């Protein structure tokens, strides 16, 4: 959530940041309503003070009456005070109703405002304006025509799209045999690298969360139509582990020396997102359920920029160890996510599909999620609590890594070599029929 103080102080800066994202949202109504709310709060507080003073005076008069020390003027004053306090109470109640209504409307408006892009984020409104920051590795040259993963997966018997669709519908899939083993090997290997070498603490998380947790992460209300929900229990299936990891410390104040906190978790992810007709409909590039290893950080704002770069480096490290050629994109203002202030995407080359596939998206949200989830810390003992910064990144998303391995490590006979780092986890060197 954006800071209402920032909107009051510099509405032009906020409007400019939103415009960079292609948002046409006007702030005028929000600013006017906030100004009215503050006037009403001041009026209410003054009335409360008046009410309290009248109550004290009335109490003194009551005490005097009990001691038979009350004259006619005092009796008249008591009668007047009864009427005035009643009127004041009614005015206070009316103002409180106005304030509550205004605060609810302000919150509704604030919840749909996206984060502001950092100055270092490239200009542009869609993916065509994204900038290739750097690349690693050279795409493999084949002596034969490389096959796409949907053909390889079927021939090897490791991906079953037909039965996935039969049991769950379109854009679901089944991994079988070496395919299932490959996913499990990748998960175990990734978690081991992140926890043993990159300094993350592994977490095992619920796959369903409360609405407040979704709101805190920024997935609601904006993306409600893309999420799966158990309406009866009012629980939401995870689109990513970022959601419960953001909620872990909701409404907490972390003590000095606690930050940075670095978490990593593997979870199933569920998304109802729709693709354009005819796009990403073959294979497992875009599906409704998949596994993902997620990196997450809670950091001091002064360390936020450096922690983003190290987050990207941790994801890169995995791609390099897998021997997968990749490039890093700096996303333009119009293409970064709702919660993000800056995002780098890592895309690996897929020779069978003949395209770059995103396997990691690494973002800093600065204090956007912290404000929504009330994530605070004390920089030092006795200091006033401040909002921390949150960062998240895929480390990595499983379906597209599986695609990249199958397509980059395929051999002319249709078998697939297992990357060296995964051989101890797989138990064999080659995936064959």
Give per-residue pLDDT as tens, 110-145. Answer: 999 999 999 999 999 999 999 999 999 999 999 999
Is CATH 3.40.710.10 correct for 4-111?
no
Question: Active site residue: 361, 363, 373, 394, which one?
Answer: 361
Rounded distance between C-alpha atoms, residue 232 and residue 72, angstroms? 64
CA-based radius of gyration for the chain: 29
Beta bridge partners of 290: 269
101 neighbors 36 (Cβ within 8 angstroms): no
- Give catalytic status of residue 286 as yes or no: yes
Beta strands in 137-237 (DSSP E): 159-160, 174-175, 201-203, 208-210, 229-230, 235-237
- Give catalytic status of residue 9 as yes or no: no
**The model's pTM:** 0.92
In this model, does residue 70 exceed pLDDT 60?
A: no
3-class DSSP assignment, residue 187: helix
In this model, does residue 278 exceed pLDDT 70?
A: no
Question: Active site residue: 96, 358, 411, 415, which one?
Answer: 358
Helices 178-196 and 398-408 pack at an angle, to 10 degrees, of 110
Could you state, in order of their start, the residue ranges of all structural domains in the chain?
4-111, 127-431
- State how far Cα 53 lies from the chain centre: 48
Please tell me the predicted confidence (pLDDT) of residue 68.
Answer: 61
User: Which tens digits make up the pLDDT trace of 312-365?
Assistant: 999 999 999 999 999 999 999 999 999 999 999 999 999 999 999 999 999 999
Question: Active site residue: 372, 373, 400, 407, which one?
Answer: 400
Rounded distance between C-alpha atoms, residue 179 and residue 127, angstroms? 32
304 neighbors 370 (Cβ within 8 angstroms): no
Whether residue 15 is preceded by a cis peptide bond, meaning omega within 30 degrees of 0, is: no
Please tell me the predicted confidence (pLDDT) of residue 93.
Answer: 96
User: Which tens digits make up the pLDDT trace of 415-427?
Assistant: 999 999 999 999 9
Place of tokens 């297992």: 418
CB-CB neighbours of 211 under 10 Å? 14
What is the domain class of 127-431 according to CATH?
A: alpha beta
- Give catalytic status of residue 12 as yes or no: no
Closest CA to 303 of 259, 339, 365, 245: 259
The CA-atom distances, in angstroms, between 225 and each of 36, 40, 164, 376 are 33, 36, 23, 30
Please tell me the predicted confidence (pLDDT) of residue 59.
Answer: 80
Distance between terminal CA atoms of the chain?
A: 51
- Give catalytic status of residue 65 as yes or no: no
Helix (H) or strand (E) holding 350: strand 342-350
Question: Active site residue: 20, 44, 262, 271, which one?
Answer: 271
- Give catalytic status of residue 77 as yes or no: no
What backbone torsions phi and psi does residue 161 show, to the nearest 5 degrees? -75, -35
The CA-atom distances, in angstroms, between 247 and each of 173, 206, 213, 348 are 30, 11, 5, 31
Question: Active site residue: 140, 184, 210, 286, which one?
Answer: 286
CB-CB neighbours of 301 under 10 Å? 16
């Amino acid at each position: 959530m954006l800071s209402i103080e920032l909107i009051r102080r510099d509405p032009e800066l906020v409007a400019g940041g939103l415009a960079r994202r292609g948002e046409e949202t006007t702030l005028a109504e929000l600013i006017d309503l906030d100004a009215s709310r503050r006037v009403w709060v001041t009026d209410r507080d003054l009335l409360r003070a008046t009410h309290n003073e009248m109550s004290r005076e009335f109490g003194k008069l009551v005490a005097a009456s009990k001691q038979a020390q009350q004259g006619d003027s005092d009796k008249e004053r008591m009668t007047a005070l009864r009427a005035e306090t009643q009127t004041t109470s009614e005015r206070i109640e009316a103002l409180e109703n106005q304030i509550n209504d205004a605060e609810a409307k302000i919150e509704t408006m604030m919840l749909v405002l996206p984060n502001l892009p950092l100055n270092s984020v490239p200009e542009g409104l869609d993916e065509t304006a994204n900038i290739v920051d750097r690349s690693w590795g050279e795409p493999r040259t084949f002596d034969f025509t490389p096959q796409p993963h949907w053909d390889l997966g079927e021939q090897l018997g490791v991906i079953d799209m037909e039965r996935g669709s039969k049991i769950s519908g379109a854009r679901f899939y089944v991994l079988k045999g070496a395919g299932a083993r490959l996913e499990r090997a990748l998960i175990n290997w990734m978690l081991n690298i992140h926890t043993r070498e990159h300094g993350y603490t592994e977490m095992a998380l619920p796959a369903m969360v409360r609405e407040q947790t979704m709101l805190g992460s920024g997935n609601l209300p904006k993306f409600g139509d893309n999420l799966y929900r158990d309406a009866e229990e009012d629980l939401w299936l995870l689109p990513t582990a970022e959601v419960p990891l953001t909620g872990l410390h909701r409404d907490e104040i972390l003590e000095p020396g606690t930050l940075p906190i670095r978490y990593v978790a593997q979870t199933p992810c569920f998304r109802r997102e729709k693709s354009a007709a005819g796009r990403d409909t073959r294979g497992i590039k875009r599906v409704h359920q998949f596994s993902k290893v997620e990196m997450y950080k809670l950091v001091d704002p002064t360390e936020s920029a450096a922690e983003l770069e190290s987050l990207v480096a941790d994801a890169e490290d995995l791609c390099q160890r897998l021997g997968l050629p990749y490039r890093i994109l700096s996303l333009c203002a119009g293409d970064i996510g709702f919660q993000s202030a800056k995002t780098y995407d890592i895309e690996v080359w897929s020779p069978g599909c003949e395209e770059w596939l995103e396997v990691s998206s690494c973002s800093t949200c600065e204090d956007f999620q912290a404000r929504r989830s009330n994530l605070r810390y004390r920089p030092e003992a006795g200091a006033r609590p401040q909002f921390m910064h949150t960062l998240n990144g895929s480390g990595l998303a499983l379906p597209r890594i599986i695609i990249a391995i199958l397509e980059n490590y395929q051999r002319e006979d249709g078998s697939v070599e297992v990357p060296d780092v995964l051989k101890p986890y797989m138990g064999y060197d080659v995936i064959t029929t």
